[in-house]
């Protein structure tokens, strides 16, 4: 049975479970759940005795002018999905509870979070790291599960856990996609029919980059140009915010590719800001 508890009770419940020798997995979300979230929950369900899901639209990870006020919310639908997924506990923090008056303490990662989305969204990863740190303290899970679509977020949180000595395992799980290749995202709900028709070309352009690496050589600049040309033809409504080829762990840009490499992109498509990534070389 799905339990709903406030933060003091969440900690007590989880400590009771762990005192009984049960393992606890946490899946942090901002709600408006889709199959990508459910895949994370399914993994946690298969690997932990108990599963906790949090829903919190975190205001501190939104930059001025972004979609905080219009971010999609459907708690009733989310609860129904969580019941079907056999989640044990749902935690929905209150904003005033998470950020008390005069809040002035932040968790700031200063390396892997500075480029890519960190460059385009100042303060974003400060908000992410701070709220996840607070969730970890309140829930005290054995492990936490995140999707690899937000690859940079995953890298920031892994670094935070390592550097601040959290006894929590961070698990990254593969991107879940629609049949046409579009990565699942709550913000896909913003797309108009015409934008939705073009949106799968985002992932297709990353696949073009992988093909170019295999066919034309290792220079990153030329490989990126192949994707930009592809998107100009097949995704004319989109505006690229960034396209980079980076080391998957350090997230440092690569001029040439001779080992592990990740292509990462952010694109504006109408109201939606879409991100995606693809391993070009393992």
Residue 47 annotated in active site: no
Residue 203 to residue 22: CA distance in whole angstroms: 40
**Residue 149 marked in a binding site:** yes
Q: What does the H/E/C string look like for the chain?
A: CCEECCHHHHHHHHHHHHHCCCCEEEEEECCCCCHHHHHHHHHHHHHCCEEEEEECCCHHHCCCCCCCCCCCCCHHHHHHHHHHCCCCEEECCCHHHHCCCCCCCCCCCCCCCCCCHHHHCCCHHHHHHHHHHHHHHHHCCCEEEEEHHHHHHHHHHHHHHHHCCCCCEEEEECCCECCCCCECCHHHHHCCHHHHHHCCHHHHHHHHHHHHHHHHCCEHHHHHHHHHHHHHHHCCCCEEEEEEEECCCCCCECCECCCCEEEEEEEEECCEEEEEEEEEEC
- How far lies 126's CA from each of 27, 41, 69, 77, in Å? 19, 25, 20, 30
- The answer to the question of whether 251 is labelled as a binding residue is no
187 annotated ligand-binding residue = yes
The annotation status of 61 as a binding-site residue, yes or no, is yes
Nearest to 173 by CA among 148, 142, 156: 148
Ligand-binding site membership of 31 (annotated): yes
Residue 80 marked ligand-binding: no
81 is in an annotated binding site: no
40 appears as a binding residue in the annotation: no
Residue 134 annotated as lining a ligand binding site = no
Q: Is 74 assigned to a binding site?
A: no
- Report whether 33 belongs to an annotated binding site: yes
Is 1 annotated in a binding site? The answer is: no
Residue 184 known to bind ligand: yes
| CA separation, residue 217 to residues 119, 220, 243, 278 (Å) | 28, 9, 18, 17
Q: Which member of 8, 37, 47, 124 is catalytic?
A: 37
Q: How far is 202 from 9, CA to CA, in rounded Å?
A: 43
244 marked among binding-site residues: no
Confirm whether residue 198 is marked as ligand binding: no
Task: Summarize the annotated binding site for (R)-pantoate as residue ranges.
Answer: 61, 153
Task: Summarize the annotated binding site as residue ranges.
Answer: 30-37, 61, 147-150, 153, 176, 184-187
The set of catalytic residues is 37
Task: Summarize the annotated binding site for ATP as residue ranges.
Answer: 30-37, 147-150, 176, 184-187
Task: Summarize the annotated binding site for beta-alanine as residue ranges.
Answer: 61
């Amino acid at each position: 049975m799905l339990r709903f508890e406030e933060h003091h009770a969440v900690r007590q419940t989880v400590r009771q479970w762990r005192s009984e020798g049960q393992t606890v997995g946490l899946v942090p979300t901002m709600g408006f759940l889709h199959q990508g979230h459910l895949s994370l929950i399914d993994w946690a369900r298969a690997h932990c005795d108990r599963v906790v899901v949090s829903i919190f639209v975190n205001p501190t990870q939104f930059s001025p002018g972004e979609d905080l006020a219009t971010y999609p919310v459907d708690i009733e639908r989310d609860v129904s999905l969580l019941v079907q997924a056999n989640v044990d506990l749902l935690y929905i923090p209150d904003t005033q509870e998470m950020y008390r008056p005069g809040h002035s303490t932040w968790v700031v990662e200063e390396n892997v979070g500075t480029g890519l989305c960190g460059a385009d969204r100042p303060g974003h990863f400060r908000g992410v790291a701070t709220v996840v740190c607070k969730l970890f303290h309140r829930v005290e899970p054995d492990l936490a599960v995140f999707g690899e679509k937000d690859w940079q977020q995953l890298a920031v949180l892994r670094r935070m856990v390592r550097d601040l000595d959290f006894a929590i395992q961070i698990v990254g799980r593969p991107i879940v996609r629609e049949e046409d290749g579009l990565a699942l995202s709550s913000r896909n709900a913003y797309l108009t029919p015409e934008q939705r028709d073009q949106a799968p070309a985002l992932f297709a352009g990353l696949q073009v980059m992988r093909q170019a690496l295999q066919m034309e050589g290792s220079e990153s600049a030329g490989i990126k140009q192949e994707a930009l040309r592809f998107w100009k033809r097949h995704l004319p409504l989109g505006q690229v915010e960034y396209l980079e080829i980076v080391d998957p762990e350090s997230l440092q840009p690569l001029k040439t590719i001779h080992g592990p490499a990740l292509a990462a992109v952010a694109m504006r498509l109408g109201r939606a800001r879409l991100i995606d990534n693809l391993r070009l070389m393992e």
